[in-house]
Amino acid sequence: MYFLDTKMHVVTLSITVFEILMLFFQVIYFLQRTNDKKRLLYLTLLILMVLYNLSSGFLPDENLPIPISLQNVTAYLVAFTTSMYFVYYFYRAFNLRLLKFFATFGSLVFLLAPFLFLFIVPYYITNDLALSRKLTVVIPFLYGIAFIVATTRAFIFKFRVKEYSDRSKFELVIAAYVALLCWVTLPVIVFFGDYQVLEHTVTNSGFLIMTIVYIRSSIHQSRHEYKMLLASANGQSQQIESNCKNYGLTVREIEIVELIVTGQTYRQIGNNLNISQKTVARHVSNIFAKVQVSNKVEMINKLEARMQF
């Protein structure tokens, strides 16, 4: 079953829609943590996967005012670009130094060069897409096998030095490895023909598993950060209370200090403690005198600091 009058199968479309939704939420998460370089690497890979699905799903389309040959070249260019970045992603995201050759010189020689000389050149000479497709995938397939072997060795080394002892990191590594195995099957499928559903199901299934595990890892990280924030807030509250006692503040004055730290106004403090604003102001004046400050900012900074005697 195909989507409307296009060559995009509904299975490919469903996978693409899911990945676009994941992209939307991941972009929001990244904008909250723009210094997260690994997430940026993952976002780039996710964008390329979406483009790969769209280009190979919709192209070629006779209704477009673009030559069919150029459409085919574009679709395969996106696929090869995604493959090259897939290698680079493993190298950078997991800090696998043993893969440096594959991510740099290797990708140019064994992925880009075959695309240029074994796909584009034969295709424009013979106009035979099937022949060009078979010629261009042999070297990338052998390159993919070599890359799997190198990646396996790199991961084993990381496990030996216990760099992936954390469970969430371990799950992400395993999921990424499965995604790699699925992606390496792409040249085999392409060699035997144009099987869109099989191609996109296999190549995307591993990536979708990695995406799900990545989301789980993000949730785990967020929960950990929240617990750390609560612990920090509790520690800060205890520090303020301890300093208040050291400065000889009464129980009522400590209550007022805690409410001031939360950003409440004199009126709000009075309503919470069932006292008038004038009474609050008088207590605050006494607090300033005891802590030896002239405003709320100085008071908060002084009470949050560790006492040195």
Return the CATH number at 285.
1.10.10.10
pLDDT value, residue 228 = 66
Q: Is 278 a domain residue?
A: yes
Indicate whether 145 and 268 sit together in one domain: no
Q: How many domains does the chain have?
A: 2
Indicate whether 193 and 78 sit together in one domain: yes
Query: 220 vs 183, which has greater pLDDT?
Result: 183
Q: Is 255 a domain residue?
A: yes
Query: 20 vs 216, which has greater pLDDT?
Result: 20
Q: Is 231 a domain residue?
A: no
The beta strands (E) that lie in 130-280 are given as none
d(CA 145, CA 175) in angstroms, rounded, equals 18
pLDDT value, residue 217 = 74
pLDDT (tens digit, 9 = 90+) per residue, 74-114?
A: 999 999 999 999 999 989 988 888 899 999 999 999 999 99
Domain span at residue 261 reads 247-304
Indicate whether 156 and 287 sit together in one domain: no
Q: Are 287 and 253 in contact (CB under 8 A)?
A: yes
What DSSP character marks residue 64? S
Indicate whether 137 and 210 sit together in one domain: yes
Gyration radius of the chain over CA positions: 30
Indicate whether 63 and 157 sit together in one domain: yes
Q: Is 309 a domain residue?
A: no
Structure tokens at 188: 């085999």
